[in-house]
Amino acid sequence: MAFAGSHWLIIWNDFGGADEGEYESWIVREHMNERMQVPGFLRGRRYVGEGSPRYLNMYEVDGIESLVGGAYVASLNTPSAWTRKMMPGLTNFSRVVCGSVAVHGEGVPGHLASLRVPLEKAGGAERTAALGAVLDSIAALPTVLGASIGLTIPAPSRIDTAEKRLRTGERDIAASEAVIAVEAASASALGQAMPEVEAIVGRQLGHPSAIGTYALSLLLDRAAGETGPG
């Protein structure tokens, strides 16, 4: 499926440090490979966009337990020297853990839009059904190849670690938020779909608090993570 795993870790950020080239090298040569060594991490994706936040990283994970303890939290609390150097340069930073609600599509198309929608606190089966209906409508659009929707889980999204303390200006998440990803084969195909995507979301869920469009720059699956540099 387009998004694997029962949970997703999604990070948006800009970079305000002096050497953006070194930042990119750190992400793709060390940081993502370290994450993919963690048991339960199935796939890592790196996206780059034109707007702000410019970068989107996400990890598809098999089980919430992989995001709240063990090897993952240990790695967050023992950052490498390179991580300690680069983390303070991350700006406009948001980090959310989502539980998967519904997924449509196959493979990993090269272009993605993310939409974040604050929700009322009330949940349950009725809301889950409404979110699924939104995704069905988006997935039916002719240029959309994949669509996924998850709900944020506040406690693991806000976990306090040594890495977090290296960053400044991290943005808090809403108490309850839907994160929607829409995937297409090209920037033009994604652009063609987005007006209707935004209309569907606005009618059925409310106005998104943030929208970004991105191109895939790196994909790591579990096998690549096991053999990649760390």
CATH of residue 197's domain is 3.30.70.100
Q: Is 14 inside any structural domain?
A: yes
Q: Is 1 inside any structural domain?
A: no
Per the structure, the complete domain to which residue 97 belongs is given by 7-227
The confidence score (pLDDT) of residue 161 equals 94
Q: Is 2 inside any structural domain?
A: no
Work out the percent of the chain whose per-residue pLDDT is above 90.
80
Cα distance between residue 164 and residue 101, in whole Å = 27
pLDDT (mean) for 47-65: 96
> If pLDDT is split at 50, 70 and 90, which confidence band does 121 have?
low
This prediction has a pTM of: 0.92
Question: Looking at the DSSP assignment, which residues form a beta bridge with residue 132?
Answer: none
Q: Is 143 inside any structural domain?
A: yes
Number of domains in the chain: 1
Q: Is 144 inside any structural domain?
A: yes
pLDDT at 182 over 70: yes
Residue 58 · residue 2 · CB < 8 Å: no
DSSP 89: G
Extended strands (E) in 83-169? 90-105, 111-118, 146-152
